[in-house]
Chain A
Amino acid sequence: MSLSDEVNVLRRIPLFAGIEPARLKLLAFSSERVSFQPNDTLCSQGEAADDAFVIINGEAEVLVDIDGHAVVVATLQRNALVGEMSILCDSGRTATVRAINTVDVLKITKDVFVRLIGESPAMAIEIMRLLAQRLQDTTHELTRARSQLNQLKGIE
């Protein structure tokens, strides 16, 4: 797969949708193509986060450690972007990502990603939108969980 194919993949990712093709080409060129064997880990929970991954081929699962057990919380398909949030807040990986079959990714380094945000207001806004969306979702879930908790307390 060549640079132009990679650009096509990047274009399908919502976060990069508003970015001009030349910038995406630069993004692809500055990033590294890496392939993972089945069961290889792309990143591990708790580790320092240096890169985000765009899945170009294959599938990967997202695992979260709950009380010492790894629980699969999501499966990632082609064109998915993963790990971009951890590199923004320097917090370490919030989950482990493991290859299900052979997975080809485009590895975007933190430096490249942050520069891209700086250069592209559209992308910055898109990220804010995504974050706001996630916050909203989390708030919803929290509210629901609280009311459920109250109900349970009421039953007792």
Chain B
Amino acid sequence: MEHSIFRYVWNHSKLAQIWLFAVVIASMPFYFIALELPKRIVNDPIIGNAFSGGATTNYFSFTFALPQMLSGAVLLDFPGFEFSRGSLLFTLIGILSLMVCAEGLMKFYLNNYKGRLGERMLRRLRYQLFDRLLRFPSQHFKRTKASELSTIIKDEVEPLGGFIGDAFVQPFFLGSRALTALLFIMLQNFWLGLVAMFIVALQAIIIPQLRRKLITLGKQRQLAARALAGQIGETFDNISEIHVHDTSNFERARIVSQLGKIFLIRFRIYQRKFFIKFLNNYISQITPMLFYGIGGYLAITGRFDIGQLLAVIAAYKDLPGPIKEIIDWDQRRLDVQVKYETIIDQFNLDNLIPPERQTLSKTAPDSLKGTIEAAALTITDEAGTTLVEQVSFSLQSNKTYAFYGNTNSGADCCGEALICMLSPTNGKLTIDGNEINTIPEAFFGRDLIYVSNETALIDGSILDNIIYGLRNRPVQPYVPKPDEAAAIAKQHFEAYASGNPNLDIRDDWLDLSATNSNSIDELIEQIITALKIVELDRDIYRFGLFRTLDHNIDPIVPQRLLEARKALYHRLKGSELDGLIAPFDPDLYNSQASISENLLFGVATGPSLAPQNLAENAYFIHILDEAELTSILLELGQQFATTIVELSTDLAADHPFFNNLVFMTPDQISELKPLLARYNQDQPNPHKNADRYALLWLAFNYIESRHRMELVDDALQQQIVTARRNFAAQLPAELTDKIEFYDPKAYISNASVQDNILFGRIEHRIANAAARVEVMMREILDELSLDRDIFSIGLQHDVGTGGRSLNMAQRQKIGLTRALIKNPRMLIINHPLSSTEANACHNIMQRIQALRAKNKPEGGMIIVTARETIANLADTVLVFDAGRLVETGAPQHLAQTGAAYRNLAGLNNTN
């Protein structure tokens, strides 16, 4: 990239800059006329110079004659128009206002044009930086902080955009304005013009001198701000370490020191800036005094008329403006140049991946044919440590290999070198005879898939993550709807004008050609198969059950789930398990549910009817009052509170007793004792209302089957069911969308799939109830062929930022599934499922081998591992030790004769 921002801007916007010049030049005459007219207005109509005593005069007369040498013939003799003093005055003022307006409109156009130009350049620059980021060699990321790069692309380039539009045209525009004004002054009076020029030159020389130091400070400021962003990002990444090791105060100290540095730099910048401003202002203010002095003296002595003097002063008034702005522009130029250089330093690497290797190919790349060969491969890291030394091997693409070795044995590094994550320092690494560094990335993305054990997940659902690997190229362009075609065409043009490639996110980027499927449905089928193989299916199934359906789901799904609900109850009835679920029956009290759940009999969809706010909801309390429940529930709350206080006195905070009171915080529990004492007094109590809320809320959370205090008898149950009906019947309009009532025949769209199927509470008093219900539910879903839908719903589960809502084993399994559905010729797995227990991992790998044998019989695998059982799955084991390849052979053979193999596998110890 260009080292100077001017070169960069010029290279990418020559034509636009030239057009800007043209517009600026075209606006100059208007400006000159706007300067000239006030003088004429004063001199001609007001003082009457043009009238020489008469009442009217001919104005705007001019003659156009050929030069004397060409006969001097008069071609045009315009006599002008006849004006009285009054009409001339208003005509001139009218022209002046027209000129001012025309000049303003041109300025408006210019500013718009410059703004767009700047934004386009900003977009181009940002894109180019991001493009470079994608082309950084892998090793570079090991010493770069993500947050620093993001602050560069996001914040640091921002001021550049504002400047780019002004880069050339602003000094030109302001300079020409200043020159016009200077010229005007000179035409009026040569000496005054000279004075003005002298002062301008003074400013133009002194001020930039003073600003030198600002450049260095600006650079420091930028680096310091970047370091700050880096530190914040690091804190974010290491937050658990910070808590675990109690280093939060050390982190505070670091940030304090960083902020101190930034403060000092910024303060120095301010000091200098304001001093320069002061000097600049002083010089500008001195000048008018000279003008008044000299010009006034000339006017008094009659060598200069007053109209001229006023016009000169007006022109001069305009002069400091452009000058000041030029100086400001120069200031910004410095600033931006510093910023630009600091940015470019970070992105101008010598060893960027050449763009050809990432070129988008519209078709699938060539596939892997034969062999992967290493000849005396040596890899050293930046510190000069040898990672791999003189390794030679030849791998056939239809066999399974294991790179067997401990960490630092070189096995991992060889695996990484195969997909260019490490580059050979010496020796050769070729695929089908081609040097690995020259092979397009598309080839790797298709036929040589690498599965890292640190699976990185994107924000989105599990499905998004699994199919992420299929997003190699747009396979189907987006077909715009008639009403958006124009807008899309405009977007494409803008992208083109900013030098962005014409890649459209709206296109269909899902390339199924690598998979064995022809449609999304088939793909989902394959994903489910793969998930079963890596044993993630149960988790996904459970995610599906616990998930609330998306609004855009096919309406057939909730209908089918209702069938499952029906089937479940049908099966429970008559079986010995009848009573396993206490259903939501509109006419019955559900003793597995809390009192408030029984009253609401539905799912709150907003905060107004949420459990924690119920005691303060006016309508809800109104219903309780009407049913004469308020005092009963207050009484109940009191009894509940009394028992809790009685039992919890002197208990440790982690006593299992509190498990039954999960709805309360320890603070709330310790609040109960004073509350009861207050509540039972007859004296006025300032907390009366709050206490009533608290007791009611406590009563609302009482669950008869769990708390077993016999506080809810049959009569109360009946009363609550009646209140439930009234609550629904009289529900005011503003609350209708705040609750979804339980209806045995309707799907509850705000509840999870499982809650919808069960439509009731599991009777925990029956031994193993939850497990039994789950088994039965699965059976029914299988019978109704709904299991696939549950999987699909589960695949929508959000993985959280960076996959944080999943555990490591789940993330690794998703990474593996992502690779399996691509069905590559060669699958490289680095420490497969290192977070899964060895036995399970072995079984999974065996099943993966079987799947590959079926789907890709001509394919092979490379498994980097330190587990003997996994290595034994390979046809050939390559044993690594201390960066060298020490043994190669079939696992059975090595187990007999391979010293290094036996050592690694611990076979020597047992003998």
B-contacting residues of A (Cβ < 8 Å)? Answer: 1-4, 6, 22, 25-26, 28-30, 32-37, 40, 42, 109, 111-112, 115
Chain B residues, Cβ within 8 Å of A32:
764
Cβ contacts A to B, 11 pairs, < 8 Å: A22-B647, A25-B643, A25-B646, A28-B708, A29-B647, A29-B660, A29-B707, A30-B659, A33-B705, A33-B708, A34-B764
Beta-carbon contacts of B627-659 to A below 8 Å, as 1s and 0s?
Answer: 000000000000000010011000110011101
A96 to B633, CA, bound (A): 45
Given A2-B709, A2-B710, A6-B708: A36 touches B656 (CB 8 Å cut-off): no
A112 to B659, CA, bound (A): 11
Shortest CB–CB separation between residue A107 and chain B, in angstroms? Answer: 9
A32 to B764, CA, bound (A): 9
Partner of B657, one of A3, A29, A42: A29
Known: A2-B708, A4-B710, A34-B764. 4 other contacts (CB 8 A): A3-B707, A3-B708, A26-B657, A30-B659
Chain A residues, Cβ within 8 Å of B765:
33-35
A72 to B261, CA, bound (A): 80
Contact call A40/B767, Cβ cutoff below 8 A = yes
Chain A residues, Cβ within 8 Å of B767:
34-37, 40, 42
The residue on A at minimum CB distance from B661 is A29
The verdict on B714 contacting chain A, using a C-beta distance below 8 Å, is no
The residue on A at minimum CB distance from B579 is A35
Chain B residues, Cβ within 8 Å of A33:
705, 708, 765
Shortest CB–CB separation between residue B580 and chain A, in angstroms? Answer: 10
Chain A residues, Cβ within 8 Å of B657:
26, 29-30
The verdict on B576 contacting chain A, using a C-beta distance below 8 Å, is yes
Partner of A30, one of B576, B656, B709, B766: B656
Q: Which of chain B's residues 653-682 have a Cβ closer than 8 Å to chain A?
A: 655-657, 659-660
Shortest CB–CB separation between residue A58 and chain B, in angstroms? Answer: 12
A111 to B655, CA, bound (A): 8
Partner of B709, one of A3, A37, A40: A3
The residue on A at minimum CB distance from B650 is A119
Given A2-B708, A30-B657, A109-B656: A35 touches B766 (CB 8 Å cut-off): yes
Given A22-B647, A35-B767, A36-B767: A112 touches B656 (CB 8 Å cut-off): yes
Chain B residues, Cβ within 8 Å of A109:
656
A34 to B770, CA, bound (A): 12
Partner of A37, one of B576, B646, B710: B576
Contact call A111/B766, Cβ cutoff below 8 A = no
Chain A residues, Cβ within 8 Å of B646:
22, 25
Shortest CB–CB separation between residue B672 and chain A, in angstroms? Answer: 15
Chain B residues, Cβ within 8 Å of A4:
710
Shortest CB–CB separation between residue A127 and chain B, in angstroms? Answer: 20
What 5 pairs between A and B have smallest CB-CB spacing? Answer: A2-B710, A30-B657, A3-B708, A36-B767, A26-B647
Shortest CB–CB separation between residue B685 and chain A, in angstroms? Answer: 28
A53 to B765, CA, bound (A): 14
Partner of B766, one of A3, A34, A42, A115: A34
Given A30-B656, A30-B660, A112-B656: A25 touches B766 (CB 8 Å cut-off): no
Chain B residues, Cβ within 8 Å of A34:
764-767
Shortest CB–CB separation between residue B196 and chain A, in angstroms? Answer: 92
Shortest CB–CB separation between residue A42 and chain B, in angstroms? Answer: 8
Chain A residues, Cβ within 8 Å of B766:
34-35, 37
Shortest CB–CB separation between residue A136 and chain B, in angstroms? Answer: 34
Which of B646, B657, B705 has most chain A Cβ within 10 Å?
Answer: B657
Shortest CB–CB separation between residue B658 and chain A, in angstroms? Answer: 9
A3 to B707, CA, bound (A): 8
A33 to B660, CA, bound (A): 12
Chain A residues, Cβ within 8 Å of B768:
40
A55 to B655, CA, bound (A): 23
Chain A residues, Cβ within 8 Å of B659:
30
Chain B residues, Cβ within 8 Å of A30:
655-657, 659-660
A20 to B656, CA, bound (A): 19
A29 to B651, CA, bound (A): 13
Partner of B710, one of A3, A25, A35: A3
The residue on A at minimum CB distance from B654 is A111
Shortest CB–CB separation between residue B662 and chain A, in angstroms? Answer: 13
Shortest CB–CB separation between residue A32 and chain B, in angstroms? Answer: 7
Shortest CB–CB separation between residue A52 and chain B, in angstroms? Answer: 13
A32 to B705, CA, bound (A): 10
Shortest CB–CB separation between residue A7 and chain B, in angstroms? Answer: 11
Chain B residues, Cβ within 8 Å of A2:
708-710
Which of B660, B708, B709 has most chain A Cβ within 10 Å?
Answer: B708
Shortest CB–CB separation between residue B282 and chain A, in angstroms? Answer: 81
Shortest CB–CB separation between residue B651 and chain A, in angstroms? Answer: 8
Shortest CB–CB separation between residue B570 and chain A, in angstroms? Answer: 20
Chain B residues, Cβ within 8 Å of A26:
647, 651, 657
A42 to B647, CA, bound (A): 28
The residue on B at minimum CB distance from A105 is B767
A22 to B645, CA, bound (A): 11
Shortest CB–CB separation between residue B653 and chain A, in angstroms? Answer: 13
Shortest CB–CB separation between residue A128 and chain B, in angstroms? Answer: 24
A145 to B520, CA, bound (A): 74
A35 to B888, CA, bound (A): 61
The residue on A at minimum CB distance from B766 is A35
A40 to B764, CA, bound (A): 15
Chain A residues, Cβ within 8 Å of B647:
22, 25-26, 29
A36 to B772, CA, bound (A): 13
A111 to B766, CA, bound (A): 22
The residue on B at minimum CB distance from A4 is B710
Chain B residues, Cβ within 8 Å of A37:
576, 766-767
The residue on A at minimum CB distance from B648 is A26
Shortest CB–CB separation between residue B527 and chain A, in angstroms? Answer: 36
Shortest CB–CB separation between residue A68 and chain B, in angstroms? Answer: 26
Chain B residues, Cβ within 8 Å of A35:
765-767
A37 to B580, CA, bound (A): 12
A44 to B155, CA, bound (A): 65
Beta-carbon contacts of B142-173 to A below 8 Å, as 1s and 0s?
Answer: 00000000000000000000000000000000
Chain A residues, Cβ within 8 Å of B705:
33
Q: Which of chain B's residues 752-774 have a Cβ closer than 8 Å to chain A?
A: 764-768
Beta-carbon contacts of B707-719 to A below 8 Å, as 1s and 0s?
Answer: 1111000000000
The residue on B at minimum CB distance from A31 is B656
Shortest CB–CB separation between residue B655 and chain A, in angstroms? Answer: 7
A42 to B766, CA, bound (A): 11
A32 to B710, CA, bound (A): 16
A83 to B282, CA, bound (A): 95
Chain B residues, Cβ within 8 Å of A25:
643, 646-647
A40 to B643, CA, bound (A): 34
Shortest CB–CB separation between residue A59 and chain B, in angstroms? Answer: 16
